[in-house]
A and B are shown apart, each in its own frame.
Chain A
Amino acid sequence: MSSPDLLEGCTSGTARHMATEVTICLVGRDDERALSAVAAALQEFGDVEAACTRFDPASPLMRANANPSGWCAVPRRCYEAVSEAHRAYQETGGRFDPRVLGDLVALGYRATLPFSGGPVVADGAVVRRRLALPPWRPQFRVRAGTFAVLLGGLPIELGGIGKGLAVRWAAGLLAAASGNHLIEAGGDCMASGRAPDGGPWHVGVEDPAGDLAPVAVLGLSDLAATTSSTRVRHWTAAGRPVHHIVDPRTGLPGGRGMRSVTVVGPDPAMAEVWSKTLFLAGRHAVATQAERHGIAACWVSDDGVVSFSTAIEPHVLWRRS
């Protein structure tokens, strides 16, 4: 829960995209240029959603998914999103893999579910472990300003990186107007420059148990913070509790013993990727993975214990004792 007083002096805008509310705050300007920058940044979320959503069968991504073994012309944003997803796949050694669309559909998450309306039960769901996927080798082509992708045989979903990409691109549009701005999109944040008081932006880390008080407060400047959490997107499938963070190795919800992972980093898209990757590492391996890759992260396990990696410590302003 943010304090509105802290955002005095900002040019702000809010819009609804990607089934969430996106808020942008630009510091120090109150003119047409600032308003235009905020509007353009908000529109960026809409453009990314339109190009990359899996909930619209007519979206460019879903048209490509309809023929995953053939070439498909897509808009630039969709092309870039698939390309970034493949880069994330390579950087995480395959631990991030967007080829889980079929698994989500099998678990009952084939359309937007009413997560905000209480317990959700998905009809016709199948909870079954599958074999590991083969290596992902998509192909990309640019000819005369047109973009095309070949997905490599299996449909993909970009929920694990799409919002972070939108935040990245929106931040780029805002930077031309002001180096001091804050973007918050459904839990993904990008804190650029300085807050209105001249200090770092204060970003609270949500308690996945639902407590209003945060588990930690971070001081960020030119850094993104992204959280993967099962607090909202969970439902019952075939009588079993499941959530949306699917382990690409098994096709089943992963992250044993985890409630949430928050990653801090310079790029919001890779912060989102690593938040999911660390979540899937599970309670007993998350610390090792975070330290090995030098990830600034904090996480909450299912017993409520909050832990911090070494790299995030310089950014921790407060933590719950």
Chain B
Amino acid sequence: MVSQRQVAAARDAAARSVARARARRRLVPPFAVGSAVLIGAGAAGAWVDAGVTPASTATSAVSAAPAPGSARGATAGTGVGAAASAAADLARARQELAQSVTAIAALGALRAPSGPAPVAGAPVGGAAPAAGAPMASVPPLAPLPSVQLPAPAVHTTTGASHVVP
């Protein structure tokens, strides 16, 4: 018989993971990330993978508790449904994170047009926006003002012949 407590714990864990992912997106201003160096698909993918527990893992984590898969009547049925719901939540979170990474990568491409086009992190489930999708334009940075050092003192000056009446 699946422990309702265990199912609830699994659900809470999934919810926390989703909340963390959402918070991560809020707290990272696009322009700040856009101005940082984005390494591209590998890092983006790694970040997505590191930040989100894969559905299989989540499923496994959910399954780590006394297996909800073991049929235990109604309680067992409830446990399986909760795990599937958590897995779906995780998948959605993963997809959203992938989309965010793709957008940030595109932003970086806008700021460094000569570099290689960023490759979107591997989306998990669902379609991700194509790389290079139109993003809000980032205003160019104003050039730093040049600093003119003062001229050194001189012993004399060469120039037009001064006419003395």
Seen from chain A, the residues whose Cβ lies within 8 Å of a Cβ on chain B are: 1-3, 5-7, 16, 19-21, 23, 25, 112, 114-117, 163, 182, 184, 186-189, 191, 195, 201-208, 213-214, 217, 225-227, 229-233, 260, 262, 317-318, 320-321
| Minimum CB–CB distance for B164 against chain A, Å | 5
| Minimum CB–CB distance for B143 against chain A, Å | 14
Map CB proximity to A onto B41-63 as digits: 1 under 8 Å, 0 otherwise.
Answer: 00000000000000000000000
By a CB distance below 8 angstroms, the chain B residues around A182 are 155-156
Q: Is the CB of B163 within 8 A of A20?
A: yes
Find B157's partner among A115, A204, A320 (CB 8 Å cutoff).
A204
Q: Is the CB of B155 within 8 A of A217?
A: no
Which of under 10, 10 to 19, 20 to 34, or 35 or more describes the interface residues of B? 10 to 19
By a CB distance below 8 angstroms, the chain B residues around A191 are 155
Seen from chain B, the residues whose Cβ lies within 8 Å of a Cβ on chain A are: 146, 148-149, 151-165
By a CB distance below 8 angstroms, the chain A residues around B151 are 204, 213-214, 217, 318, 320
Q: Is the CB of B157 within 8 A of A203?
A: yes
Q: Which of B148, B149, B163, B165 has the most CB of A within 10 A?
A: B163
By a CB distance below 8 angstroms, the chain A residues around B161 are 19-20, 163, 186-188, 229, 232-233
Q: How far is the CA of A303 from the CA of B82 in the complex (A)?
A: 79
Q: How far is the CA of A17 from the CA of B147 in the complex (A)?
A: 42
Q: Is the CB of A203 within 8 A of B159?
A: no
Q: Which of B149, B154, B158, B160 has the most CB of A within 10 A?
A: B158
User: In the complex, which residue of chain B has the Cβ closest to the Cβ of A244?
Assistant: B161
Find A195's partner among B146, B148, B155, B165 (CB 8 Å cutoff).
B155
Q: How far is the CA of A260 from the CA of B157 in the complex (A)?
A: 14
